[in-house]
Structure formats: C-alpha cells, structure tokens
Structure 1
Amino acid sequence: MILRLFSFLLLLWIMGFAWFAIDLPRPAVDDAHTGSVVVLTGGGGRIDRALDILEAKSASRLLISGVDRDVKPAELAAEYDRSDDLFACCIDLGFQAVDTRSNALEIARWAARRGDKSVRLVTSDWHMRRARLELERAMPPDVLILSDAVQTQPSLRTLFTEYNKYLMRRLAALAGV
C-alpha cells in the first residue's frame, strides 16, 4: 500500500515537472496596458524588457524590486543606456526585497501606495509561476496581474530547482504559510 502511494505521488511529480518544463509562461501581448510594470531583479533581460514596456507607454511607472542598496539610479541608467530623466520621472527602485516572497510584499506595498488596479509582472519564464503565486498572495484580489515572461533557455537543473520551490510554496500556501 505504501509503495503504491509513493509510486502514485512520484508519477504525479513527474507529470507535473513535465508540464512545468514544457509549457513555460510566455511574454504578454505588447499592446496590453497596465497601471504599472514591476520587475524582479536577478535574470538577464528582465530589466531591459520592463524598460521597453515603460518607454512604449504600456505602463506609467516602473518598480525594479530587489535592487542592491549600493546601486544608484544613475548607474542603472548608464548600464541600460537610458536617460537619467527616465529614471527620475518614472522609475522607482525597491531595496527591501531579498527573495521572491519579499519581492511580492514590496511590490504589493508599492502598488497599494500608488492605487494601482493592474500591474504587469516581468520576470524570467522559469520563475514566473512562483513569482506570480507570491504576488497573488500579497496583492488584494481586485488588482489585475498581467504576466510578462522573459524567454530564456533554462537548464534542466534550473527547472528542477524552480519546480520544487514552486511545489513547496504551493503546499505552504495551502497550509496558510
């Protein structure tokens, strides 16, 4: 009986991992408009994508969440070849987050202060499911979250690790943690 239960759970895990790895989230439609765009630091192409969205006027303000405390707006402007004026007028840097869960809390507080009813979440495709789960838990239910995944070529190890983190957060969410 225990062997059957273990085999069943293992089969569920394998099928879930296959779904997770094969059907990665995709970029959002470019002409979709939201009140804000929020991006989690940590992966290549994320900040570039968020800046492109802001410059296309698909959102009025950008939060870059999880920025190192030593980073200055002018440094980011230079690194991403954007004007200091863009950073001064339309971009906020979030220095409080250290992981995906604290990114979500930082974003939720920022969006609440702004009164946003919709946000576009930008992160890597392999990270989107867990980031969105955390953000949905942190945000009020009436705030629309639009997923905008940056396409990557994740390794099997990255997918394996992220899938297990996602499962653990799902279980923790079910337990109310």
Structure 2
Amino acid sequence: MFRRAISAVVLVWALGFVWFAFALPEPADGIATDAVVVPTGGEGRIAQGLAVLNDGLAERMLVSGVDREVTPGEFAAEFEVDERQLECCITLGFSAVDTRSNAAETAQWVEDNGVRTLRLVTTDWHMRRAAGELSRALPSSVEVVRDAVPSEPSFASLFLEYHKLLASWVAGLIGF
C-alpha cells in the first residue's frame, strides 16, 4: 500500500513536470489594460513591458524589483526610455527582492494607483508562479492578463522553477 502511494505521488510529480515544461504560457494578444507590471530578472521582460506601454496597451508601468543601485537615468539610458515617459508613466520599484515581494510591491502600487486591470509581463517559465503570487496579493476585483515572454530555458532552469512553483502552491495552501 505504501509503495503504491509513493508511486502515485512520483507519477503525479513527473506528469506535472512534463506539463510544466511543454505547456509554457504564451504572449497575450493586444488586450488593453490600465497598467503593466514587469518583475525584473529575465531577459526581454522590460523590453516587452515597454512595447506594451509604447503600443498604447497600458497607460502606466511598474518595474518591480529594481536594484537599489540603479538610478532612473541609468534605467532610461539602458532601455532607451524618454525622460518624459519615465516621469509620467514608469515607476521603478525598489523594495522587491523575489517573486513574493514582487507581488507585494505590485499590490501596493495597484492600490495606490487605482489599477483595475493589470498586464503581468514575465518570462514564460516564471509566469505561473508569478501569477500565483500576484493573485494571492491582489484583491479579486483586479483582473490580471498574463503576457509571457518566450524563452528557451534549460532543463535545469525548468526543473528548479517547477519545484519553486510547487513550493509556492503548498505555501499558498497552508496560508504561508
């Protein structure tokens, strides 16, 4: 009986990993939202967020988890952002250090700015965990559109992120 239970758990874990690795989230259509949030950490995320802003699909953008050493001028220069656009439409968030604190920083920014619809831009392999943390931090009245940045993650990256996702789900279930 014990062996069957362990076998069932291993089978569910393995099938879950296959699903996770081969059914990565995809980019969103041209859906307009009030704002876009981009957690730092993955290639192409900020560029995609800026494209959403520049295409008029959102009016404001939060870049969550910016290193405290980065100045607004350095950010503008690196990503070729006009200073006026930076002042009016882009908020650099410096308090987040991981996915959970990205969600907390975003939730506070959403509340402070009266955001009702939000586009989450993050890497495809990171989307499920980031969206899960965000859904726990935001009020249910805020609609979130998932906009995944396509990538080519390594097996090791997928394996690690799958386990982080499982840990996040368990933490959410037990209210941690």
The code of the aligned residue for 1:134 comes to E
Aligned to 1:66: 65
Are positions 1:50 and 2:63 aligned together?
A: no
Structure 2 alignment gaps of length 5 or more: none
Q: CA deviation at 1:48?
A: 0.3
Deviation at 1:82, TM superposition (A): 2.1
Alignment TM-score, normalising by the size of structure 2:
0.98
What amino acid maps onto 2:103 in structure 1?
A: A
1:17 and 2:45 aligned: no
Q: Measure, in 1, the Cα distance between the counterparts of 2:92 and 2:154.
A: 29
Letter in 2 for 1:147: R
SS of residue in 1 equivalent to 2:121: strand
CA distance in 2, matches of 1:84, 1:67: 17
Count of aligned pairs: 176
User: What are the residue-to-residue correspondences of 1:87-106 with 2, within 5 Å?
Assistant: 87-106=86-105
Shift of 1:116: 0.8
RMSD after superposition: 0.6
Q: Kindly provide the amino acid, as one letter, of the partner of residue 17 in structure 2.
A: F
**Deviating 4+ runs (over 6 angstroms):** none
Matches within 5 A, 1:19-34: 19-29=19-29, 31-34=30-33
Question: Pairwise mapping of residues 84-123 of structure 1 onto structure 2 (< 5 A)?
Answer: 84-123=83-122
CA-to-aligned-CA distance 1:14-65 (integer Å, 9 cap, x gap):
0000000000000000x21001000000010000000010011100000000
Q: Tell me, what secondary structure is at the counterpart of 2:175?
A: coil
Quote the Cα distance in structure 1 between the aligned partners of 2:81 and 2:112. Answer: 26
Unaligned runs of 5+ in 1: none
